[in-house]
Amino acid sequence: MLINHLVVIHPGAIMDYELMGKLSEADGVSSEEGEVSGLMASFFRKAGLKAEIDNFGNVIAYKSLGKNPLILGAHMDEIGLMVKHIDEKGFIRFIKIGGIDDRTLINQQVTVRTRKGMLAGVIGSKPPHLMKDEERKAAVDAKSLFIDIGAKDAKDAAQMGVEIGNTVTFDTRFRRMGKKTFSGKAMDNRIGCYVLLQLAKGLAPNVVLVGTSQEEVATFGKGAKTASYRLDPRAFIAVDTSIAGDHPEMRPEEAPICLGKGPVLTLVEAGARGNVANKKLVQKVLDCAKKEKILIQVEVIDGGATDAASVYNLKGGIPSIAVCAPTRYIHSTVGVGHEDDVEAHVRLLRRLAREL
Reduced to 3 states (helix: H, G, I; strand: E, B; else coil), residue 39 is helix
Give the H or E element holding residue 303: none
Considering the chain, what percentage of its residues have pLDDT values greater than 70? Answer: 95
pLDDT of residue 135: 67
Considering the chain, what percentage of its residues have pLDDT values greater than 90? Answer: 86
pLDDT of residue 9: 41
Q: pLDDT band for 13, please (50, 70, 90 cuts).
A: low
134 belongs to the catalytic site: no
pLDDT of residue 1: 35
Which residues are registered as beta bridge partners of 236? 71, 320
pLDDT tens-digit profile of 17-26?
999 999 999 9
Residues 92-106 have a mean pLDDT of 95
Torsion sign (Cα): 353, 351, 22, 248:
positive
Q: Lowest mean pLDDT of 7-21, 189-203, 256-270, name the range.
A: 7-21
Residues 244-262 have a mean pLDDT of 92
pLDDT tens-digit profile of 302-320?
988 999 999 999 999 999 9
pLDDT of residue 260: 95
pLDDT of residue 4: 38
- Let me know: does 308 contact 145? Beta carbons within 8 Å: no
Gap between the Cα atoms of 184 and 327, Å rounded: 11
Radius of gyration of the chain (CA): 21
From the candidates 25, 32, 78, 215, give the one annotated as an active-site residue: 215
Reduced to 3 states (helix: H, G, I; strand: E, B; else coil), residue 63 is coil
Residue 94's contacts (CB-CB under 8 Å, 6 or more residues apart) are: 81, 82, 83, 84, 142, 145, 146, 147, 168
pLDDT tens-digit profile of 175-187?
999 999 999 999 9
Residues 231-243 have a mean pLDDT of 97
One-letter amino acid of 333: T
Residue 92's contacts (CB-CB under 8 Å, 6 or more residues apart) are: 83, 84, 85, 86, 112, 121, 146, 147, 148, 149, 157, 162
Give the H or E element holding residue 129: none
**Quick check: 6 pLDDT over 80?**
no
pLDDT tens-digit profile of 265-314?
999 998 999 899 999 999 999 999 999 999 999 999 998 899 999 999 99
Cα separation values, 251 from 54, 101, 246, 247, 326, Å: 42, 19, 8, 8, 16
Cα separation values, 198 from 38, 94, 133, 201, 353, Å: 16, 36, 52, 6, 13
Of 135, 182, 195, 171, the residue nearest 6 (C-alpha)? 182
Gap between the Cα atoms of 336 and 244, Å rounded: 9
pLDDT of residue 194: 98
pLDDT of residue 221: 66
pLDDT of residue 7: 42
291-294 LR contacts (CB < 8 Å, sep 24+): 291/351, 292/344, 292/347, 292/348, 292/351, 294/262, 294/263, 294/344, 294/347, 294/348
Q: What is the dihedral of CA 170, 23, 266, 81, to 10 degrees?
A: 20
Pairwise pLDDT comparison (128 vs 341), residue with the higher score: 341
Query: What stretches of 213-335 show up as alpha helix (H) in DSSP?
Result: 223-231, 279-291
**Quick check: 2 pLDDT over 70?**
no
- Let me know: does 272 contact 303? Beta carbons within 8 Å: no
Chain mean pLDDT for the chain: 93
Instruction: Give me the domains of the chain, ranges plus CATH numbers.
Output: 17-78+172-355 (3.40.630.10), 80-170 (2.40.30.40)
pLDDT tens-digit profile of 117-157?
999 999 998 777 777 777 677 788 899 999 999 999 999 99
